[in-house]
């Protein structure tokens, strides 16, 4: 199916939807200039210092660093905090918001991204499920309590060594704080915030179960298939249409739709047909 024809079918589904679920992986942020860490080479291209050290994304995103060497642990996550704060969400976010308003769509966002770009673009935090947590929230490494608080820390990072010059501390016990993010091999993540979001998402799904549902999936890969699996599960509901936007792994079974392109290109194509 040609690109424009698929965009037309996707536009028809959006125009006639009763509810919208936006599911997004790391590829959603690429058009904003964010790295997607695809494979070791992709990660090392974004962080060449780690290539010199022979450390992969899995090795860098490890909670043990905050206990053994917090300056190193916060080097990676401090840099990402600063990057996400500086990043401007691309126009695709605004297109999605415009469709929600134009067609009065009840909606929810589910993302594996921890960057907070949807909220920054104007999406409500009340309609958000961040399945891996958020870099904009912190918790204690111990943890001394189940408390989660906003990340308002200033974290300068030496780019030549990828070490943080300041270490965030727990607001209760002053131990090292860490991002409230589910990392690799992580047994200390406090999931309470994400659990509350998941409860809200379940209620949303119950409320729209009889409505024609459109799922727009953007930039979700197969390495960690959490988002893709959710999209496909939602797509098995009666009256549901999944629109998968992915430049490398676009395949999805009929009657669902696939666009082999980046998020902004795909969303712009659909918008032209609307």
Could you read off the pLDDT of 5-44 as tens digits, one per residue? 999 999 999 999 999 999 999 999 999 999 887 666 778 8
User: In this structure, which topology does domain 1-272 adopt according to CATH?
Assistant: Rossmann fold (3.40.50)
Q: Which two tokens stand for residue 29?
A: 């942020």
Cis previous bond, 62, omega within 30: no
pLDDT in tens, 165-221: 999 999 999 999 999 999 999 999 999 999 999 999 999 999 999 999 999 999 998
Q: At what angle do helices 263-273 and 3-15 cross, to 10 degrees?
A: 70
Beta-bridged to residue 129, according to DSSP, are 110
Are the C-beta atoms of residues 97 and 117 closer than 8 Å to each other?
no
Cis previous bond, 255, omega within 30: yes
What's the pTM?
A: 0.96
């Amino acid at each position: 199916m040609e690109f424009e024809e698929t965009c037309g079918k996707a536009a028809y589904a959006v125009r006639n939807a009763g509810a919208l679920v936006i599911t997004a992986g790391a590829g959603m942020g690429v058009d904003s200039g964010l790295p997607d860490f695809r494979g070791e080479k992709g990660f090392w291209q974004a962080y060449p210092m780690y290539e010199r050290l022979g450390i992969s994304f899995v090795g860098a995103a490890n909670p043990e660093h905050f206990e053994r060497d917090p300056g190193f642990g916060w080097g990676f996550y401090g840099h990402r905090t600063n990057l996400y704060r500086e990043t401007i969400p691309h126009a695709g976010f605004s297109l999605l918001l415009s469709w929600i308003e134009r067609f009065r769509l009840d909606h929810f966002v589910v993302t594996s991204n921890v960057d907070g770009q949807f909220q920054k673009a104007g999406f409500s935090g009340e309609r958000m499920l961040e399945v891996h947590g958020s870099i904009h929230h912190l918790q204690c490494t111990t943890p001394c309590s189940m408390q989660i608080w906003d990340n308002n820390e200033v974290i300068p990072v030496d780019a030549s060594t990828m070490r943080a010059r300041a270490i965030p501390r727990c607001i209760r016990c002053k131990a090292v704080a860490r991002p409230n993010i589910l990392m690799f091999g992580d047994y200390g993540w406090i999931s309470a915030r994400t659990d509350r979001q998941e409860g809200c998402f379940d209620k949303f799904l119950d409320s729209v179960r009889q409505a024609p549902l459109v799922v727009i999936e953007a930039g979700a890969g197969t390495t960690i298939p959490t988002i893709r699996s959710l999209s496909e599960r939602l797509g098995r509901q009666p009256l549901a249409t999944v629109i998968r936007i992915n430049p490398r792994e676009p395949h999805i079974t009929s009657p669902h739709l696939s666009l082999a392109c980046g998020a902004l290109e795909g969303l712009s194509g659909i918008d032209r047909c609307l």
